[in-house]
């Protein structure tokens, strides 16, 4: 192959790659916008599944940037309380800033440890975590600390996803081997039973990616 032909081929490949990147970015923006519009409805669905309403106290484990916690704080109202946990300074600051921008005084942050939620004993009517369980290096210890934070008859919701063949390439390090990135429903049920929790109902499909499993002690 001559150099001019190689150069044309290289330019063509670069153009195709650029197009794929642009398409991927566009798809990501669309999905992000869709998630933003659907978040209030999704959080309302979760609150209803946990039986939460005005005046209740609920904790979110691994709250990320705090957007879900903000919606939950609106649901439980000024007489309720949302406790959002995270392990890093940046995330804790982001959650506090999200609460400030939303004008909420009923959303507080707690620094969690790798093996302890650091929630106060008996503080919560419910606890939930989204895309977090499969990242826990010591799920038994974390779930035990959550159990201590739950009031009698309180419930724990876990939103997670089944491992997929693409996800196997990005399995988090230092976590139990569950066949890839994510956690199979059957394995989650078995693990939670070992930790002293029973399913409060059948696992349901929460959205196109996540399933919702609710447990009680």
* pTM summary value: 0.82
What whole-number distance in Å separates Cα of residue 1 and Cα of residue 178? 48
Mean pLDDT by 10 residues, the chain (217 residues): 64 58 40 58 97 98 97 98 97 97 98 97 98 96 98 97 71 80 95 98 95 97
Closest residue by Cα to residue 158 from 180, 170, 142 = 142
- Residue 16: the pLDDT is 57
Q: Are the C-beta atoms of 159 and 129 separated by less than 8 Å?
A: yes
Residue 91 CA to its chain's centroid (Å) = 13
Listed in sequence order, the residues at least 6 apart from 10 whose beta carbon sits closer than 8 Å to its beta carbon are none
What whole-number distance in Å separates Cα of residue 19 and Cα of residue 1? 25
Between CA 108 and CA 116, with CA 113 as vertex, the angle to 5 degrees is 90
């Amino acid at each position: 192959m001559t150099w001019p032909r190689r150069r044309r081929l290289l330019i063509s490949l670069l153009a195709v790659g650029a197009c794929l990147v642009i398409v991927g970015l566009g798809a990501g923006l669309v999905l992000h916008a869709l998630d933003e519009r659907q978040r209030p409805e999704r959080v309302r669905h979760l609150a209803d599944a946990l039986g939460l309403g005005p005046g209740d106290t609920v904790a979110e484990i691994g709250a990320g940037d705090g957007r879900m916690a903000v919606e939950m704080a609106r649901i439980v109202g000024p007489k309720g309380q949302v406790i959002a946990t995270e392990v890093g300074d940046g995330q804790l600051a982001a959650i506090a800033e999200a609460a400030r921008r939303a004008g909420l005084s009923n959303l507080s942050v707690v620094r969690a440890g790798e093996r302890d939620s650091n929630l106060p004993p008996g503080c919560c009517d419910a606890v939930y975590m989204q895309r977090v369980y499969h990242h826990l290096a010591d799920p038994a210890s974390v779930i035990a600390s959550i159990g201590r934070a739950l009031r009698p008859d309180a419930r724990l919701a876990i939103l997670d996803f089944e491992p997929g063949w693409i996800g196997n390439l990005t399995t988090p390090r230092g976590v139990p081997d569950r066949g890839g990135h994510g956690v199979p429903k059957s394995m989650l049920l078995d693990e939670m039973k070992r930790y002293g929790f029973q399913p409060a109902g059948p696992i349901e499909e929460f959205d196109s990616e996540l399933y919702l499993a609710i447990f009680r002690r």
